[in-house]
Amino acid sequence: MPREHKVIVYSTPTCSWCTKLKSWLREKRIRFVEVDVSKDARAAEELVRKTGQMGVPVTLVDGRPVIGFNQPMLERLLAS
C-alpha cells in the first residue's frame, strides 16, 4: 500500500497554474492542504522563508518544495 504524503499547495484564487495543479492532484486522488497566500500574510511570509519564492504555485511534498506546476518532479516525489 503506497504511503500517504504530506502535500501543501501554496496558491491564489487567480492563478491559472494553481488551478491546473490542484485539478491534477485531485485527478490523481492525492490529498493536499491548500494555503491561499492572498488571504494569509503569515503563510506568504513562511513561503518566502522556506523557498525564497514569492510566486505561486509552490507545492511542498513531505517538506520538499516544487516550484510551479512541475509535473515530472511531483510524480517523482509522490512515487517515492
| Average pLDDT for runs of 10 along the chain of length 80 | 83 96 96 95 91 92 95 94
- The whole-number pLDDT of residue 1 equals 43
**What are the grid coordinates assigned to 4, written together?**
500517504
DSSP characters over 26-68: HHTT---EEEETTT-HHHHHHHHHHHS--SS-EEEETTEEEES
Q: What is the pLDDT of residue 2?
A: 56
What pLDDT shows up at residue 50? 86
Considering only CA atoms, give the Rg of the chain: 12
Superfamily of domain 7-79, CATH level 4: Glutaredoxin (3.40.30.10)
